[in-house]
Amino acid sequence: MRCWQHKHAPVARPKRSTTRRRASSGARSIGQRRTTVRRTPNRNSRGNATRRSRAGRKPTEPRDRSYDRLTPAKQERVDSAIQFCADAVTDGWQEAVAGRAADYASSETFRKLIRARRRRHCKALAEVAKLILAAKAKAHELLGVLGGGVLSLFGLGDLAKRFARELIEHIPLPLDAKAIAAARGVQVTGVLLCLLNGEDLRRCQCFIDLALEQSKTAVKKIMTTAMEDWTQLAWFGAKA
């Protein structure tokens, strides 16, 4: 209807019904909400990205804490042996010892040790040497150490045992002396692997065992003897 004060104004548009207006406004609000809704990120997307980034990284081994667990007196003993043997374990020493190890062990086994050069190899070799020295007087125990699953917890025990077994088979000595020479050869090989890998000898379990068992003079003699004939390593038996 026309307003009485605006008689000449055009006829107003018919009012839209309340129900229709509410329906249209509701539809419009729903449409607006649909346009403004944001997709929530997947909770696993961040974790997946983290795992992908970690997967591309080179795996690192945990730092060896064997030296840190030693008493100050034992740490001083290891440090003194390292300083005393520093002029012996040069590049020429590494090349000569690698040649001697290849003479007594198969090329495949030694090549696998050199190729990986993990610190776990040194720990496994150190454990093998301890077990050989402990069982050297009894042939059946020695064969059990090298043939059983004693070192399965080290992950690479099979390779370390295979290397020690080949040394025992090829070093031409009686069993008792052969066991000592093989144990020292295993320890020297552990030192070689750590040096080739650029490790500090304070983190080399094989060198730590030698330094704590032998005098620093004897440790240096073992290192120099390893450059020549490994049968001479039988002179360096275990000491209390």
CA-nearest of 97, 98, 101, 171 to 136 is 171
Question: Can you spell out the DSSP letters for 155-213?
Answer: SSHHHHHHHHHHHHHHS-S-HHHHHHHHHHHHHHHHHHHHHHTT--GGG-HHHHHHHHH
Here the tokens at position 172 are 């031409």
Q: Match 């060896």 to its residue by tokens.
A: 64
Predicted model pTM: 0.67
Going residue by residue through the chain, which has 240 residues, state the pLDDT in tens, using 9 for 90 and above.
666 676 666 665 655 555 555 555 554 544 454 445 455 555 555 555 545 545 455 444 555 568 888 999 999 999 999 999 999 998 899 999 999 988 888 778 888 877 765 557 788 889 888 888 877 655 555 555 554 443 333 343 577 888 888 888 888 888 788 889 999 999 999 999 999 888 889 999 999 999 999 999 999 999 999 999 999 999 998 765
